[in-house]
Structure 1
Amino acid sequence: MISRATNPKDKNYSYYGGRGISVCAEWRESFEAFVRDMGPSHKAGLTLDRIDVNGNYELANCRWATSVEQGRNKRNNRMLTHDGITRPLSAWAEVVGIDHTVIRARLYHGWTVERALTEPVPKRQKHGSLTFNGETMTLATWARRVGIDRATLAGRISHGWSTERALTTPPRPIGRS
């Protein structure tokens, strides 16, 4: 903590001291003060974490955290706000029960946060088959029937499109802007 915030030769200095992150004078001068404030020991698997990743190492901004908590408290996390609550995308994935890659793909394709987090993912059926209007066929068979490339159809389904939308939306013309 002290080295990465104060020593320009520390390999991580640019991420801490180089960004203006400092260690409070009391902790910098006295390990006993650090132990008094943070506790004499911590549970296995916990490491020191700054609550505000842009804040300093000081009592009001430090905690012992798990690797999952630390991973969700990084500058490069994609933060999403839904119903007035802001969480990292990975935390929302757990809360709503949708794989984080599906949420990320939905957002990439222009979905709103609300829709990406609330629209159910179509249930996949055995062996890559789809059921639509009471008929069950493989992706390849549906693709031939509706005139859509199989990979396009598979991509639509994997990005959370409903079966109906995936099968009834015409493919984009190739080579046209």
Structure 2
Amino acid sequence: MFDVWRSMVARCENPKATHFKDYGGRGIVVCDRWKEYPAFFADMAWDYAKGLTIERNDVNGRYDPMNCRWISRSEQALNKRTTLRVEFRGRRMAFVSAWKASGALVNLRTAWSRYSRYGWDLERALTGAPMKQGRRRKEGRCGNGHLLTATSTFISRRSGRVNCKACVSANTARYRARLLSQPEAQA
């Protein structure tokens, strides 16, 4: 617990500390009472367990007894300024938390791709049925803009990926043209 306190004070008060710019540099401070370890210990030791980290309920607020609690590292990872927050079933939460709360039938990476890359609405991205291997949404398009349908795609035997027939044909034609245009190597 002493190491947690020491790190907290350093990142808020020491400009040479690694993460000072994210804490003290943003105006995050340690309350006067907690600048001494015995007071910090008296306020926080009752709820501490090894492996927990200190968490500020208000990420822009100061370190003080009313704004801090102990949480696990996995919970802490969800409370960062860079964490994507979404509105899910009337509550604002991290995308990962929404995925867990939905009881999703799809893995996290698939849900994230559906939401951020393909523009699906959140509920559908999290709870929609998993796609069968090698099938795409009807409205899906390849990188060159060709519409991906069951008849315009095929599954590669080697990689198992869905490929656009038009793109593969064009790439093959370019490759063959390049081979034909090269002069034969002289012995």
Which TM-score applies when normalising by structure 1?
0.68
Cα distance in 1, alignment partners of residues 165 and 90 from structure 2: 36
Matched with 1:69 is 75
- After TM superposition, give the deviation of residue 27 of structure 1 in Å: 0.6
Matched with 1:120 is 129
Cα distance in 1, alignment partners of residues 71 and 128 from structure 2: 32
Cα distance in 1, alignment partners of residues 153 and 85 from structure 2: 35
- Asked if 1 retains the 8 angstrom alpha-carbon contact of 2:88 and 2:98, the reply is no
Q: Is residue 2:15 matched to residue 1:22?
A: no
Letter matched to residue 24 of structure 1: C
Cα distance in 2, alignment partners of residues 82 and 172 from structure 1: 38
Q: Is residue 2:155 matched to residue 1:147?
A: no
Seq. identity, %: 32
- After TM superposition, give the deviation of residue 93 of structure 1 in Å: 2.0
Root mean square deviation of aligned Cα: 2.9
Structure 2 portions without partners, runs of 5+: 1-7, 136-147, 171-187
- After TM superposition, give the deviation of residue 40 of structure 1 in Å: 5.3
Alignment of 1:1-177 (within 5 A): 1-28=8-35, 30-39=36-45, 42-96=48-102, 97=104, 98-107=106-115, 108-122=117-131, 124=132, 146-150=151-155, 154=161
Q: Greater relative contact order (Cα 8 A, min sep 6): structure 1 or 2?
A: 1
- After TM superposition, give the deviation of residue 3 of structure 1 in Å: 1.0
Cα distance in 2, alignment partners of residues 37 and 147 from structure 1: 65
Letter matched to residue 104 of structure 1: W
Structure 1 portions without partners, runs of 5+: 131-142, 157-170
Which TM-score applies when normalising by structure 2?
0.65
